[in-house]
Amino acid sequence: MSLIKEVIAKVKEKNPAQPEFHQAVEEVLTTLEPTVDKHPEFVKAKIYERIVEPDRQIIFRVPWEDDEGNVHVNRGMRIEFNNALGPYKGGLRFHPTVYEGIIKFLGFEQIFKNSLTTLPMGGAKGGSDFDPKGKSDAEVMRFCYSFMRELFRHVGPNTDVPAGDIGVGGREIGYLLGMYKKLTNEHSGGVLTGKAYEWGGSLIRPEATGYGNVYFAAEMLATRGETFSGKTVLVSGSGNVAQYTIQKINQLGGKVITISDSSGTVVDMDGVKGEKWDFLMELKNVKRGRVKEYAEKFGVDYYDGKSVWDVVKEQGIKADVALPSATQNEINGEHAQALVNNGVICVSEGANMPSTLDAINIYLENNVLYGPAKAANAGGVAVSGLEMSQNSLRLQWTREEVDNKLHEIMKSIHKNSLAAAEAYGKPGNYLYGANIAGFLKVAKAMLAYGIV
């Protein structure tokens, strides 16, 4: 058995019942095969075995009281995976499906993603099985306070810097920082990113993941002489990433015809633009409603209980580009085949691991431009890194300054991924390129530190 296969088998054996973590490790390590022969020093120092083992996992109880005085108990966690390149960095996810397997897959991916950004950040992820849906502001506040009452002792601007992910946005970051500040008596804005501008955040951070994914996809399209102008685009989800993905595509002259949430999918053949996009922003960020209300308001099609990819497959909807922006494993092999059959030439991942391994193979076999999540959605954490820089400087940059830096970072991730793919014998393959480019920097740093 090859070294890589042995490491994958060991991970499955040592981490039972964590299929998402197994999937992420298999996807990354398989593509690192070309590095094994070229780097005997990595093999000797057992870098491959060490990188799949988190530095530490912190798991804790989060008790809180609802508005009626009932007590609830959730599980909180922070998995600090690797700090070879900088302080641990990565988001917090609040969603009922959260357990160790999800947080470990996300933390593991984050190591390589953060390395790709070119900024000095390690990899981590955290969260809770708390479901913010249907909770009042006061309940969310009490939950966030309780979560931070334990987490505060493990994080810090030079130690571990959490941010948002599914179910964690500006509101939650505010409550979390409020409690951190109270407990430590320090205004350490640098302990969390995704803050509002007024209290130490960076302009363009809310937009960054969506904008960054569109910038990355535009770079991929350019390799075939294409642009977003006139393209029909499929977007899934309707949260932070989806919202700003749609805004940027509209700015570039494309048309987004789908949005979704966990209840169903909207198809709007005229495009989610102008007042319709404004309505979506208000619906999701202020009213915290469902996309179904968009379909009712504008008299467009709604498919209850279906994902965007089910609808595309069943209705045979034609499109040019797909930007999945909801959650992991939303696109399976059959969905991917339907995308190819319906004309999609580019899939760029706003969500983390939205495509199964089967789906990825179908993209690659059909010469679809495939932007893997850790490259394509790295703009979010990249601007988090820029937020940390601004906090250290005690200065705030303009929108243009941050947006230009984000654009340059996405271009460099694209260029570095292609260069690594070429150097390791997989020309044009962004999956190999992104994983190898991200890995090399971390592996070299780990080597430099010795056996720690």
Which segment (41-49, 70-78, 87-95, 329-337) binds ligand 2IT by CB under 6 A? 87-95
Selection from ligand NDP, ligand 2IT, none that 29 binds (CB < 5 to 8 A by kind) is none
Tell me: does residue 165 bind ligand NDP (CB under 6 A): yes
Tell me: does residue 261 bind ligand NDP (CB under 6 A): yes
Phi-psi region of 303 (alpha: psi -120 to 50; beta: other; left: phi over 0): beta
Active-site position among 89, 104, 113, 125: 125
Tell me: does residue 384 bind ligand 2IT (CB under 6 A): yes
* Closest to 215 measured CA to CA, from 409, 418, 438, 420: 409
The string of DSSP letters for 268-289 reads -TT-S-THHHHHHHHHHHTS--
Handedness of CA 247, 249, 255, 259 (dihedral sign): negative
d(Cα 148, Cα 153) in Å, to the nearest integer? 9
Sheet with 301-304: list strands edge to edge: 301-304, 264-267, 255-261, 232-235, 321-323, 346-348, 369-371
Q: Minimum Å distance from CB 190 to ligand 2IT?
A: 12
Instruction: Give Cβ neighbours of residue 204 (< 8 Å, ≥ 6 apart).
Output: 211, 383, 399, 402, 403, 406
Tell me: does residue 193 bind ligand 2IT (CB under 6 A): yes
Tell me: does residue 127 bind ligand 2IT (CB under 6 A): no
Binding footprint of ligand NDP, residue count (CB under 6 A):
23
Backbone angles phi, psi at 393, to 5 degrees: -75, -20
| Beta carbon nearer to ligand NDP, 35 or 352 | 352
**Residue number closest to ligand NDP, CB atom:** 239
- Residue whose structure tokens are 């992420």: 24
Selection from ligand 2IT, ligand NDP, none that 438 binds (CB < 5 to 8 A by kind) is none
* Closest to 250 measured CA to CA, from 226, 283, 276, 282: 276
Tell me: does residue 102 bind ligand 2IT (CB under 6 A): no
Q: Minimum Å distance from CB 41 to ligand NDP?
A: 32
Which segment (5-13, 30-38, 50-58, 85-93) binds ligand 2IT by CB under 6 A? 85-93
Q: Minimum Å distance from CB 280 to ligand NDP?
A: 10
Which segment (81-89, 166-174, 222-230, 271-279) binds ligand NDP by CB under 6 A? 166-174
- Residue whose structure tokens are 């070429």: 422
- Residue whose structure tokens are 């708390």: 130
| Beta carbon nearer to ligand 2IT, 347 or 382 | 382
Among 86, 380, 433, 438, binds ligand 2IT (CB under 6 A): 380
Give catalytic status of residue 125 as yes or no. Answer: yes
Q: Minimum Å distance from CB 163 to ligand 2IT?
A: 3
H runs (alpha helix) in 152-222: 170-184, 205-222
Tell me: does residue 247 bind ligand NDP (CB under 6 A): no
Site residues, ligand NDP (CB under 6 A):
164-167, 169, 209, 237-242, 261-263, 325-327, 350-352, 377, 380
